[in-house]
Amino acid sequence: MISKAQKKYLKSLESKKQRKLTKEFIVEGTKSIKDFIKNGYIPLIVYTTQPEIWEPGIKTLKIDKKELKSISLLKNPKDSLAVFKIKPAVKPEFSHPILILDNLQDPGNLGTIIRTADWFGIKDIVCSHGTVDCYSPKVVQASMGSLAKTNINYMDLEDFLSDYPHPVYGTFLEGKNLFKEKFPDKMALIIGNEGNGIRPEIEKLVMHKITIPKHPDASAESLNAAIANAIVLSKILT
């Protein structure tokens, strides 16, 4: 049975401030939890309706479905919810393409971008300080376990890009046709904010502006950031 204090603490981890203070975050669903375990994360505790599915040595607390629903952020929670320690990020490697996110605000977009980056083999993502927290429950859920495999740093992008030794590409409404470009093995790709794009101070550091060409009859003004990211990565990395 779960205590009131435990419920209160789990609810507090919805807050970025609390996650930063405790360096802890929540993962829901057996598959996602096991993805984190497989990638070296050790759960502090797993609240579960099925303790028998977890390996010996993993701390579990058996709860019923009603209790799970009371601590879950999902409308239809599955079977387990775990608390993990946040791992310290390591310095990005420059030997492979790096994805840079400038002030993305939507948790669903960030989670999808992390999942897509994992699909295409991106190991490092660098986020501006204004980008939504990658350990937000909505981001964790949308990433479907891919967060466990991705090294994410929050940095001052101007400082980072000033020292970055390889070509820097950025997505814009106007730029060179993505599909006519040849991309190097070592590079950085910047995806901008959903509404405002890449900030002017970061735009100054972009060496190559690229765009996804739209059909002449298209009425849409722009693409969703996560969709644009998927299209660009599919061209760069396949």
Q: Is residue 150 part of a domain?
A: yes
Whether this prediction's pTM lies above 0.85 is answered by: yes
Name the residue range of residue 21's domain: 4-85
Q: Is residue 91 part of a domain?
A: no
| Span 50-68, pLDDT tens digits | 999 999 899 999 999 999 9
| Span 9-36, pLDDT tens digits | 999 999 999 999 999 999 999 999 999 9
pLDDT band at 83 (very low <50, low <70, confident <90, very high): very high
CATH code of the domain in which 214 resides: 3.40.1280.10
Q: What is the pLDDT of residue 82?
A: 97
Number of domains present in the structure of the chain: 2
104 vs 221, residue with greater confidence: 104
**Are 150 and 186 contained in the same domain?**
yes
Beta strands at 80-85 and 24-28: parallel, antiparallel or unpaired: antiparallel
pLDDT at residue 75 tops 90 = no
**Are 212 and 116 contained in the same domain?**
yes
* DSSP structure string for 106-141: -HHHHHHHHHHHHHTT--EEEEETTSPPTTSHHHHH
Q: Is residue 90 part of a domain?
A: no
Q: Cα–Cα distances in Å, from 219 out to 210, 214, 225?
A: 20, 9, 17
Identify the three-state secondary structure at position 75.
coil
**Are 12 and 40 contained in the same domain?**
yes
